[in-house]
Structure 1
């Protein structure tokens, strides 16, 4: 039997997909003016924009206003955790903000 020429399944599993990003320490907000976070903790950002929370729960991109990422810096940081490029002790400059 031949495989179908088109499929909705990805050729690469999400575990191996280079566009999937995992973060250990984030805060997700659903509004710009609120100080109450929608979620705090680890997430996985899938290529389609959906956010996977703990317990394999999914959060729609349309439900999110913004995400603050507080992961440790891979480069550009000093031993005390401060980003030497921005001088910020808790946020990375990963996305150029």
Structure 2
């Protein structure tokens, strides 16, 4: 039996990652609680990776604004 140490999906998951230079991540419907402003990556599983390598859970994030202000 041969077991590979390579991930099953390989680099295919990276195709679903969205990277932005300027986003605003909100924690509430009203947009009053800003969790992050600046660059970030939205991972395929819904988590948001910040430039500091911290992750925001999809449960904590209500909305992500990626467009011009």
TM-score tier by shorter-chain length is: 0.7 to 0.9
* Structure number, greater radius of gyration: 1
Aligned-partner SS, 2:15: coil
Deviation larger for 28-37 or 59-68: 28-37
Match of 2:3 in 1: 3
Instruction: Give 5+ residue unaligned stretches, structure 2.
Output: none
In 1, Cα distance between the equivalents of 2:15 and 2:22?
20
In 2, Cα distance between the equivalents of 1:65 and 1:26?
13
Q: Per residue, is there more strand in 1 or in 2? A: 2
In 2, Cα distance between the equivalents of 1:34 and 1:21?
22
Pairwise CA RMSD of aligned residues? 2.3
Superposition deviation, residue 13 in structure 1:
7.2
Instruction: Give 5+ residue unaligned stretches, structure 1.
Output: 71-89, 92-97
Superposition deviation, residue 35 in structure 1:
2.4
Match of 1:85 in 2: none
Superposition deviation, residue 38 in structure 1:
1.3
The number of equivalent residue pairs is: 67
In 2, Cα distance between the equivalents of 1:57 and 1:13?
23
Match of 1:19 in 2: 16
